[in-house]
Amino acid sequence: MNAFWFNLPIHNIEKSKRFYTEIGFINNESYQDDGSASFFIGEHKFVMMLFQHEQFQPMLGNGITDTDKSNEVLFNLNANSNRRLMILQ
């Protein structure tokens, strides 16, 4: 596996960037724009991506979860392999 990252929907990009910077996450400027941000986490530098709802929604097959009622996160794995990855649903 080359990398591991996870994606989270957020409402306010600037507020979220401030929060994660203040708790010590390292800003990953390579992957961000006006509606998203990226941070390295821990010694292995896992990547957390934050997307405003408008950018996150098209990546889903259905709606964004109402976090007052349940949880949502999208995990991604990056690996060098000739094998196809099977997605379990």
Q: Has residue 47 been placed in a domain?
A: yes
Which residues, in sequence order, are CB contacts of 47 under 8 Å at separation 6+? 3, 4, 5, 6, 28, 31, 38, 39, 40, 41
pLDDT digits over 39-81, tens only? Answer: 988 777 788 888 888 888 887 878 887 878 876 666 665 555 5
Q: Has residue 76 been placed in a domain?
A: no
Q: Has residue 84 been placed in a domain?
A: no
Q: Has residue 42 been placed in a domain?
A: yes
Q: Has residue 36 been placed in a domain?
A: yes
DSSP state for residue 58 in the 8-state scheme: G
Residue 8 in this model has a pLDDT that exceeds 80: yes
Q: Has residue 29 been placed in a domain?
A: yes
Identify residue 74 by its one-letter amino acid code.
Answer: L
- pTM of the entire structure? 0.65
Count structural domains, the chain: 1
CATH number at residue 47: 3.10.180.10
Q: What are phi and psi of 18, to 5 degrees?
A: -60, -45
